[in-house]
Homo-oligomer: A and B are copies of this chain.
Amino acid sequence: MASLRNAAIAFIASLPCRALASNIIDNNASPPNLSTVFNNSIFYTWRPRSHVLPPSGQIGDPCMHYTDPTTGLFHIGYLHNGAAGAKTSDLITWTDVAEDPTFIRAGGINDPVAVFDGSVIPYGINGTPTLLYTSVSYLPIQWTVPYTKGSETQSLAVTYDGGANFTKLEEGPVIPGPPFPVTNVTGFRDPYVFQSPQLDAAAISPEGTWYSVISGGIHGQGPSQFLFRQYDADFRDWEYLGEWWREEANSSWGDGTWAGRWGFNFEVGNVFALDTEGYNAEGEVFTTLGAEWSEVPIIPQVSQFREMLWAAGNITTSSNGSVHFDPTMAGKLDWGQWAYAAAGKLLPANSSTSTSSGTANDRFISYLWLTNNNFGTSAFPTMPQGWNSVLTTTRELAQGTIGNVIDNELVNETASWRVGSRDTATRTVELITLRQTIAREIRAAFVSNATRTFSQSGRSVSNSTSSYSNSNASSLAFQQSPISKFFMMTASIAFSSSARGSGDLKAGFKILGSEYESTAIYYQFSNESLIVDRSNSSAAALTTPGLLANNEAGRLRLFDIANGSNSSSIETLNLTIVVDNSVVEIFANDRFVLSTWIWSWYDESTQISFYHEGSGDVSFGNVTVYEGLVDAWPERVY
């Protein structure tokens, strides 16, 4: 990392007209108030290496991904001065689509004010990648205020230069608004195009028809996905098929434990179908979606909460011919409170990354936006940092299965899983859920590319009673820790059956630690939660407003798994933690993800420890650290 640090210093030194002396940040000394330092002076302090973000400045929602039909390269898109993009042949390293990666900007006739999220038909108009996006004419737009009619319309743009630019069609919006009598919407944006033989059958459409869901809702009714169907070969007209999915305003899936609230407005809805291998148009229909809500009283122009959800369900047809999406399970796509606006895309088996990695099946990969400044509401020093927010590591989504699960009360809930099959003889079930894993190429690269790889021997702990907050007795440092803040760590934690009755058991790891800072990541049985304790994560949080220090938490149920005749044990917790400087992503059991920021300050804050508290037997194992990650942007000049 010395070279990176040196490069950073060189970069800062190259900036004109600045009093540089006071701007060389020393991460071995206590931090200043970072709001007061010059722009870009902490550019490298927390910048990740392996993640997608623009060369500088702000990144917003991911969107507009596609596999270029002529090159086979996968193109990722994201909001950035409009929308910008990068391309990859392996999902590991990226090339900006141009020196200025922005490929579409606001300011046209349809979008005088802004460009919002969209999605791409790879073989679109004249066989060329064709973008359907939200063209914005009036602001403000939010579910908390009356809707300005026509503020969000859906327009087309086409690329003629391999994705460096998308040229807007010289015509009005192809979807100028929700058709009458849908008038008082809470939102009407983020068109997501997809094909679905299941919808073709349900809605009696020609084979290969393109659909678009537009996310939003109706004031006084609830959030919904508006469904449209392609009408002509050039995507100029779209037939409204109705709200194929609507939830009651501010209702929840079950009691809200597993998927939070549906809120008042949906955003960024994706629709796709999965089998256990990945994308399969004939598979189970999934959707990912953002939900917006506030506690009462609702304050205009303040959306307090955003939830990044997924749901799976059935497509049904009413007697009047209208099609509906009926959820059978729903969950959190990410439990991190700053992880939002997921955008995924079919990655076909014939894409260059799949052919290089020997992946024979179609996949569905997805990215979330991880906001640096709490959706623009915190005082995070974005200008001193010179960049703002990031996309999460590429994930593969698939239909997940959990086998040999004891058919007890833990199984039967309105939850983020459903019972796929039930074996009354063995009294076990197979559960179906959403599987989420780091894209295989990336995970492989993190392993193979590691500059240091080391294992930590396991550890079994019983009935620790010391308090985490008052001493370190509950933690035990690894024999070896990373020397940088760039690594992937895998580990498993097995709990004895007694753990389920424990009221105070916590078990996990502390990372990014030193005598000044550390972050505990642990599973807490009493509320089936995986918690990230960020209260001591950052010395800079003490000096700098906007470095929020609140905890993160997500819910994960560890089922009872049959392991022989009439015997069972608690499902092992399998963790993969990616630490890419300040970006920390926790993957658990291929079905739980929590992405967050850890703004550790000191260079020396790289230690890892076991962490255990409360009563209950815990066994840590399979601990491996792969240090280094990859440089996702080898062609960028800094």
Interface residues of A (CB under 8 A from B): 109-110, 112-113, 137-138, 148-151, 153, 170-174, 176-177, 179-181, 183, 231-232, 236-240
Contact = CB atoms under 8 A, between A and B. Distances in A.
Smallest CB-CB A-B distances: 3 pairs: A150-B172, A176-B176, A183-B237
A176 B148 contact: no
A174 B149 contact: yes
Given A109-B112, A236-B149, A177 B181 contact: no
B170 A150 contact: no
Given A109-B138, A112-B109, A176 B174 contact: no
Nearest to A112: B109
A239 B180 contact: yes
A231 B181 contact: yes
A151 B179 contact: no
A148 B237 CA distance: 12
A359 B586 CA distance: 83
Contact of A177 (B113, B151, B176): B176
A209 to B, nearest CB: 15
Nearest to A170: B138
A151 B172 contact: yes
Nearest to A229: B180
A149 to B, nearest CB: 5
Which of A138, A172, A173, A174 gathers the greatest number of chain B CB atoms within 10 Å?
Answer: A172
Contacts of A170: 138, 148
A232 B184 CA distance: 11
A171 B148 contact: yes
Which of A148, A150, A173, A240 gathers the greatest number of chain B CB atoms within 10 Å?
Answer: A150
A173 B137 CA distance: 11
Nearest to A174: B149
A394 to B, nearest CB: 36
Contacts of A153: 172, 176
Given A149-B174, A181-B239, 4 more contacts: A109-B137, A137-B172, A149-B173, A172-B176
B180 A151 contact: no
A231 B180 contact: yes
Contacts of A172: 137-138, 148-151, 153, 176-177
Contacts of A177: 172, 176
Which of A112, A174, A176, A177 gathers the greatest number of chain B CB atoms within 10 Å?
Answer: A176
Contacts of A112: 109, 112
Contact of A238 (B137, B173, B180): B180
A179 B181 contact: no
B171 A173 contact: no
6 contacts: A109-B112, A109-B138, A149-B172, A150-B172, A180-B238, A183-B236
A457 B372 CA distance: 95
A240 B183 CA distance: 13
Which of A112, A113, A237 gathers the greatest number of chain B CB atoms within 10 Å?
Answer: A237
A171 B239 contact: no
A180 B180 contact: no
Contacts of A176: 150, 153, 172-173, 176-177
A352 B372 CA distance: 65
Contacts of A231: 180-181, 183
Contacts of A238: 180
A173 B172 CA distance: 12
Nearest to A108: B112
A148 B171 CA distance: 6
B183 A171 contact: no
A173 B176 CA distance: 9
A171 B138 contact: yes
A151 B237 CA distance: 14
A562 to B, nearest CB: 54
A177 B177 CA distance: 10
Contacts of A174: 149
B171 A151 contact: yes
Nearest to A152: B172
Which of A232, A236, A238 gathers the greatest number of chain B CB atoms within 10 Å?
Answer: A236
A239 B329 CA distance: 38
Contacts of A113: 109
A488 to B, nearest CB: 48
A133 to B, nearest CB: 15
Contacts of A137: 109-110, 172
Nearest to A183: B237
A139 to B, nearest CB: 10
Contacts of A181: 231, 237, 239
A236 B171 CA distance: 23
A142 to B, nearest CB: 15
Which of A113, A148, A170, A180 gathers the greatest number of chain B CB atoms within 10 Å?
Answer: A180
A112 B183 CA distance: 24
